[in-house]
Amino acid sequence: MSQLIVGAYAAAPALLHSDERAEDIWFSSLRDSPLVGGLELPFINGLHPSGIQRALSLMKPSWRSVVTLMPCVWNRLASDAAYGIASSDNSSREKAIKDVSDARTEILKVRDVNGPGAVVAVQVQSGPGGQQDNRSLRAFTDSLYEIISWDWDGVVVSVEHCDSHRGVGVPQKGFLSLDEEVAVLAELYGSTPTVTGHTLNWARSVIESRDAGTPTRQAESLQKAASLSGVIYSGVSPVPSPYGGAWTDAHLPVANSGEGSEPTSLLTVEQMGAVERAAGSPLYKGVKIAAPRHATSLLERLEPSYATLRALASVTVNEGR
């Protein structure tokens, strides 16, 4: 059975890490929830601003988590538009590779303390973003070849697909297309024994195409190619919502599933079921959900995540996984 994880950092209030008591309450709720089997852990300059020991103190030892470099990538792009492991600018590309190396160091520390199952995958993103002509498939190939040559001790290096520069409308991320990413991974498969793969984010695939059926088709394609590592469910709305503007990467919860759900979200239980049938049994799956603007208490901010996890758990049971 695939591992259910939650990207709870997307729902956290700003500067949660600066209020130790509030942070303890936040993580206590996550540790106590039977819905949460692990986290999508955000890496920026580390897994926690106060250091790896603070990060470890907040984790449940039995969690099977993944680490994402998306917050790091987005932060770096704010000051360096050429940043990314697919960048044609060698200096910016080297910075991105170093960030992945720094993440690896902290991942291995977590596994040393909590065991080899504590982190099962790291999600990397191609970059650079927007509509600039600074992406290179050769650079992306070279970067991944270097990254997967390192000793990851069994951690899967998974390329998180984001909306591409070739999508419909103004891109939110504007990274490489899925076809481009798949072609690069296919080139690398025969050259290294290290496991690589893809992570799909439901909302980002829909943002790219403006078609709620796209994630299912992509999951089916990647599953057939044995390249699907994980699926993260995050919703998007075609109209403004309490989470953000239309077609923005605002991490909406599931629609029409009781308390914590959002009726404008295109992510439904039926859409989840379609992806589950197409995806088979990836290494992990979970949700990344934000908090609505009106949320005030810590637990109110987490309820949309729990609502979406409950929906995913019910779909998982019904699909026999």
Closest residue by Cα to residue 244 from 294, 310, 206, 202 = 294
Contacts of 245 (CB under 8 A, 6+ apart): none
Which token pair is 313?
């758990």
Length of the chain: 321
Please tell me the distance from the alpha carbon of residue 130 to that of residue 127, in angstroms, as a whole number.
Answer: 9
Q: Which domains does the chain have, with CATH numbers?
A: 3-318 (3.20.20.150)
- The pair phi, psi for residue 201, each rounded to 5°, is -110, 115
What pLDDT was estimated at residue 1?
Answer: 42
pTM of the entire structure? 0.94
Give strand pairing partners of 28: none
Which token pair is 29?
């709720």
What pLDDT was estimated at residue 132?
Answer: 64
Cis bond before residue 128 (omega within 30° of 0): yes
Please tell me the distance from the alpha carbon of residue 287 to that of residue 278, in angstroms, as a whole number.
Answer: 17
Q: What is the sign, positive or negative, of the torsion defined by CA atoms of 157, 308, 165, 95?
A: negative
Closest residue by Cα to residue 220 from 280, 264, 269 = 280
What pLDDT was estimated at residue 11?
Answer: 98
- Identify whether the C-beta of residue 121 lies closer than 8 Å to the C-beta of residue 283: yes
- pLDDT by 10s per residue, the chain, length 321: 456 999 999 999 999 999 999 999 999 999 999 999 999 999 999 999 999 999 999 999 999 999 999 999 999 999 999 999 999 999 999 999 999 999 999 999 999 999 999 999 999 999 897 656 788 999 999 999 999 999 999 999 999 999 888 777 778 898 999 999 999 998 887 665 557 899 999 999 999 999 999 999 999 999 988 889 999 999 999 999 999 999 999 999 999 989 999 999 999 999 999 999 999 999 999 999 999 999 989 999 999 999 999 999 999 766 655
